[in-house]
Chain A
Amino acid sequence: MNDSFVTVGKPKRKVDGLAIVRGKPVYTPDYDMPDALVVKLLRSPHAHALIKNIETEHAKSINDVVDIFTFCDVERIAYTRAGQGYPEPSPYDTFLLDRKVRYVGDPVAIVAAKTEKAAKDALRNIKVEYEILDAILEMKEATKEGLPIIHDESECSGIYDKSRNIAAHYEMNVGDVEETLKTCDVVIERTYHIDTQLHAALEPHNALTYLDSVGRLTVITSTQVPFHCRRILSHILNKPIADIRVIKPRIGGGFGGKQSVIVEPYAALVTIKTGKPARITYTREEVSMATNIRHEMSFDVTVGATKDGKIKAISLHGVSNTGAYGEHSLTTFMVSGSKTLPLYNKVEAVHFGGDIVYTNLPPAGAYRGYGAPQGLFPLDCAIDELAYEIKLDPLELKEINSIREGETSPIFEIMGEGREGVPQTMKSCKLQECIDLGKNEIDWESKRGKKIRNGSKVRGVGCALAMQGSGIPKVDMGAATIKMNEDGSFNLLVGATDLGTGSDTILAQIAAEVLTVPLEKVIVYSSDTDITPFDVGAYASSTTYVSGNAVRLAAEKIKEKLFELASKYLGKGVSELSLQSGMIACKDGASVSLSELCTMHMYTFNQQQISESASFVGEESPPPFAASFAEVEVDTDTGKITLLNFVSYADCGVALNPIQAIGQLEGASMQGIGWALYEDIIYGKNGRMLTNDFFTYKVPSRMDFGKLTCRLVDSYEPTGPFGAKSIGEIGIDTPIPAIANAIFDATGIRLRHAPFKSERVLFEILNMEV
């Protein structure tokens, strides 16, 4: 299928690659602004407290300190940092600064100074008197009676039950799970718990703000959502959208961590209050403790099946920890069900539900996978457990019960993100191919259940199947504008936000394919609210599908326009014309190059700017699918887990740029591997995150795994641009269940709390020996 394409489906180099490898100044911190004030935040040392008194006069008198703002100086406007479409499905429970602090790290005061040193001096010299409140540090405690209420302020809206610290609640049923379980031969009931995770993007959150020559606020920022950022700033700062411009240059990693609007308001406030440029850059510790983390979740899972392996009922009932603020609380939790349960679509009854609770811990938010990995861990592992119960190969059990092309699941229609979903039938689903190829690659048949031993070390293999989505259907909108230049090149303007994912490149490939020009003739400019059309931004695996379809539509409109103009110019009928390799040719041999056509229309003939715009909203959200396999070796003397090989095959439709698409799968897999084995967040007893740097929080490095094998299968999604679906998130869903299942295969130990630390394995081994 790819052979018919010229530019898409080819491993083109990134359009921004040259700047990256040459180390060009293309990230927010690289923009020089000599007079920019240094903005720093004083943060709460307490998990839950009221500010009784705050004294800033002495700090303000320090040389080079320009100003200090506390909750007394800012208008009290409730908002959500979530960076979602409007109206947001997240509670408005946040204030720029508040009298109450709700986690260790919550901002207390904003310092603006001429130098870094003066700003730090000021932080040390602000005197705050706190009334310390009881704190809730365990999510399972949060709803108990008699506990402090974390959000008791009257201005908040959208909170499900303030009095019980429940930010959001969700419940859905298909059929009757209780009744269906009675008809099952075997029922597995377990509890699975999955801890939080840090995004650990290498570029810290940072922003630069200034007033332009006419006094408009300009915000250069490392964000995934420039348009949502502009809208939220407008709301908090009481400033018209027309007076704000948000620019996203290259960004040094996001993974969901830069979807919430976190740093921009503080710098913007300083610029507005002082009239001066301002720069805010979080330290690594601040990035870890005071941006967003992943939602910790716990699920009671029940799976019922017949003894020959027909899964009849699934129930996932859980609790999710949103921390001190509720951004993305409802939606991540819903995705735990909506992007896992349709996988096993042969069931008669399904239940999904639970509470998303506040605690006095760092606020959780969007993170690659967005709840799906938290839901897949209990679901996949419970099915794995069930397979052993009925003495079936777990891969076979997952295989015979999972969704295929032409099939659907009622969950698609019931569960969306923060609302109902849309019905959809799988137009592309090559899960079987993923299973078959992955099984072969890992050598499943000869390794599973063999417990191959070498001294104290024993090996095992595990598998997991996954799905995700491609944007939020009927919600996410992306737009593209294309304008033509007289040398036959095109400016492609997109609101879409390249986080390093390569979206600028694949969007240019789509335009180049339609317009039959080399990739070099498409000049991409993205993510500038003054110049590019709207796009929701980079999240929910939306860009390839949503923004990609918008680019394709815009390019097709240009193509139509070119035929119309060439028809007049050449005096031929539109139906006689064709476009190939940058030339419009007529059947009779007459032709005109795009360059000549544009030049004539600019300067001499039928003068006009050739340009078109198009928007796209997905009617559905075609899921990518994946089958992943882990091979581990466990040292039974020490509990040490070594990942020997991780294999992942994915169906992302047509990979518009195979090397970038595989890169997404590899990178997401590695992030999942880190979460499964190395990345562990520890809090002190006062609720302070102790693992807030790269010494104490272990991001996987090159020596931490054996082999990573990621591949794509042939597939074509008819509703996608040139057959494409998403690939950005799915890779992170499978490592935790696949590795857990492999550890079980090796040792007979079922780990139901991720991450899987060697200490836990050793503890279980010692328990078994007793």
Chain B
Amino acid sequence: MKITLNVNGKLHDIDIDPGEYLLDVLRRIGYKSVRRSCNSASCGTCTVLLNGKPILSCSTFAASVDGQSIETVEGMSDGEKLHPIQEAILEEGGAQCGYCIPGLIMTGEALLRENIDPSDEEIKLALNGNICRCTGYEPQNRAIKKAAQVMRGELDE
């Protein structure tokens, strides 16, 4: 079957199998930031934004999001300029192996669009579904907090 996806503002007409998951389709058309880990909606690695809300692409049928808008980390930076969350993750040591980072950035972005001044607890709660096996979480939580400050204009990048 044919579907249309708007990925990071770019339209894609794609042939898919009816049972294909969004994760596989996005990877096939080149969005390799969308990564598979648990493949059972329990680690957050494959998170993308669907119409601005975080979803798990490993357990979302591609056919079910036909015609809708998807955002991945490939669309987060403005040319050479990184998004404040990307900057803060580098600055705070929030990435080690980096495999969880695209999913984390997308979940963090969805949080900050809703709540530009989240408390520590709100950050932990929003990102609780994003497993990281490397960092011990503290630097990632700090990074989201810092990115929010930058986005509020309270802190220079």
Contacts and interface: CB of A to CB of B under 8 A. Distances in A.
Contacts of A158: none
Contacts of B37: 202-204, 252, 284
Contacts of A202: 35, 37, 43, 45, 97, 99-100, 131-133
A502 B98 CA distance: 11
Interface string B76-108: 110000100010011111011111111001000
Nearest to B106: A23
A40 to B, nearest CB: 14
B137 interface: yes
Given A500-B96, A702-B141, A666 B136 contact: yes
Residue picked from A20, A200, A668, most chain B C-beta under 10 Å: A20
B42 A30 contact: no
A23 B102 contact: yes
B42 A708 contact: no
Contacts of B135: 663, 666-667, 670
B136 A23 contact: no
A699 interface: yes
Contacts of A669: 136
B134 interface: yes
Interface string A256-274: 0000000000000000000
A254 B133 CA distance: 10
B93 A659 contact: yes
Interface in A309-324: none
B99 A23 contact: no
A332 to B, nearest CB: 20
A29 B131 contact: no
B53 interface: no
Contacts of B93: 11, 659-660, 662-663
B157 interface: no
Contacts of A363: none
A33 to B, nearest CB: 13
A22 interface: yes
A201 B97 contact: yes
B86 A21 contact: yes
Given A17-B95, A499-B97, A204 B131 contact: no
B73 interface: yes
Contacts of A24: 32-33
Contact of B35 (A22, A27, A200, A255): A27
Nearest to A27: B99
A694 B40 contact: yes
Interface residues of B, number: 50
B96 A21 contact: no
B64 to A, nearest CB: 20
Interface in B118-140: 124-125, 127-139
Contacts of A284: 37-40
B49 to A, nearest CB: 13
Contacts of B129: 701
B105 A21 contact: yes
Interface in A225-258: 250-255
Given A671-B133, A702-B128, A703-B128, A663 B40 contact: no
B33 A23 contact: yes
A13 interface: yes
A501 interface: yes
Interface residues of A, number: 53
A512 B115 CA distance: 42
A25 B132 CA distance: 19
Nearest to A252: B99
B95 A14 contact: yes
A515 to B, nearest CB: 24
B89 A21 contact: yes
Interface string A97-141: 000000000000000000000000000000000000000000000
B32 A663 contact: no
Nearest to B138: A708
A112 B35 CA distance: 24
Contacts of B38: 284, 693-694
A22 B39 contact: no
A710 interface: yes
A603 interface: no
A662 B91 CA distance: 13
A283 interface: yes
A200 B131 CA distance: 10
B137 to A, nearest CB: 5
A701 B42 CA distance: 11
A86 interface: no
B72 interface: yes
A674 B25 CA distance: 34
B146 interface: no
A166 B77 CA distance: 56
B13 interface: no
Residue picked from B35, B45, B127, most chain A C-beta under 10 Å: B35
Contacts of B96: 253, 500-502, 660, 663, 667
Interface in B3-43: 31-40, 42-43
B74 interface: yes
23 contacts: A11-B93, A18-B82, A21-B105, A23-B34, A23-B101, A23-B105, A25-B33, A201-B97, A202-B97, A202-B100, A203-B35, A203-B37, A250-B97, A250-B98, A500-B97, A502-B96, A663-B134, A667-B135, A671-B133, A693-B40, A699-B43, A701-B128, A702-B124
Interface of A: 11, 13-14, 16-25, 27, 29-30, 199-204, 250-255, 283-284, 499-502, 659-660, 662-663, 666-671, 693-695, 699, 701-703, 708, 710
For the complex of A and B, the 4 pairs showing the least CB-CB separation, nearest first, are A23-B33, A500-B97, A252-B99, A666-B136
Interface of B: 31-40, 42-43, 45, 72-74, 76-77, 82, 86, 89-93, 95-102, 105, 124-125, 127-139, 141
Given A23-B101, A255-B133, 17 more contacts: A14-B95, A16-B98, A22-B73, A22-B82, A23-B74, A199-B133, A201-B97, A201-B99, A203-B35, A203-B97, A500-B134, A663-B93, A666-B139, A694-B131, A703-B125, A708-B137, A708-B138
